[in-house]
Amino acid sequence: MNSHKIIMNVNATPSAVVNLRCPHCHHVGAFHGLPNCNDLSWSEPPIPPVVNQINHFAAGVRRCPNVECHSLVQVVLQSGKLSESFPPEVIDFDSTNLPTDILTSLEEAIKAHAAGCFRACALMVRRVLEELCDDKKATGGDLKQRLAALSTSVVVPKELLDAADELRLLGNDAAHISAKNYDDIGTEQATLAIELAKELLKAVYQYASLVDRLKALKKP
């Protein structure tokens, strides 16, 4: 909140239940407030061009319902809906069978995304893709060629790789990617980059694991 805003009607109000993906354990749950702990609520005047709508806010603490987590999260609600949380919500991902280096880079990309640092996120996604190609010995002159080489050795939908060309962060030349490639990367590009990376990682590391587990069901 900006300090110059006029704040009205500051009160203590009972804490509403909030649906949230836990920033700590990544499960989605209905987060309740703590016993005997109210939210702080307040109102702010309309923000032009809307002239007739008072904004109602509330801020307080919620607890993760997962019994193995029970982490505390600070939330800000606007008109009863979640506006912000701290730590921020993070994109969900499956870490099954991912090599440690790739998992570390992916986690860093997701943390950067949650913090609104979209260019940093894009750089880390690019690193995830490069580490993936390193691990699978997919070679080529640039990242696009390396991803294309990857598709010859693992099951990756061709349409997915073709569409990935639209992502600016892939750049034209891995060796000479310039800073301006990242200048206008916002939430949409960064979100799509993470989703693409997740799908590729799933194809390379997780389908095989599922296939092995299914095969293990076969009776001797």
Piece of the chain touching Zn ion by CB under 5 A; list 40-48, 62-70, 89-97, 102-110: 62-70
Is 25 a binding residue for Zn ion by CB under 5 A? The answer is yes
Q: Is 24 an interacting residue with respect to Zn ion (CB under 5 A)?
A: yes
Report the residue count for the chain.
220
146, two tokens: 């390396």
User: Is residue 32 a contact residue for Zn ion (CB under 5 A)?
Assistant: no
Closer residue to Zn ion (CB): 10 or 34: 34
Q: Which stretch binds Zn ion (CB under 5 A): 63-71, 111-119, 143-151, 176-184?
A: 63-71
Q: How far is the CB of 74 from Zn ion (least distance, A)?
A: 14
Task: Give 64 or 200: the residue with its C-beta nearer to Zn ion.
Answer: 64
Q: How far is the CB of 73 from Zn ion (least distance, A)?
A: 8
User: Which ranges of 21-177 does DSSP label H, i.e. alpha helix?
Assistant: 100-114, 118-135, 143-153, 158-164
Distance CA 104, CA 152 (A): 26
Distance CA 177, CA 169 (A): 9
Classify each residue of 12-36 as buried b or exposed e, where b means 16 or more C-beta atoms within 10 Å of its C-beta: eeebbebebbbbeebeebebebeee
- Bond from prior residue into 87 cis (ω within 30 degrees of 0): yes
* C-alpha 208 chain-centroid distance: 24
Residues between 71 and 110 with contacts to Zn ion, criterion CB under 5 A: 71
Instruction: Say what angle helices 118-135 and 100-114 make with each other, to 10 degrees.
Output: 170
Nearer to Zn ion (CB atom), residue 71 or residue 145? 71
Q: Which residue has the tokens 């603490």?
A: 61
> Which of 19-27, 80-88, 102-110, 187-195 is the region at the interface with Zn ion (rule: CB under 5 A)?
19-27
22 versus 156: smaller Cβ distance to Zn ion: 22
The reply to whether 21 sits near Zn ion by the rule CB under 5 A is no
Q: Is 22 in the site for Zn ion (CB under 5 A)?
A: yes
* Closer CB to Zn ion, 69 or 160, in the complex: 69
- The Cα–Cα gap between 106 and 197 comes to 8
From 66, 95, 104, 145, residue interacting with Zn ion (rule: CB under 5 A): 66
Binding site for Zn ion (CB under 5 A): 22, 24-25, 64, 66, 69, 71
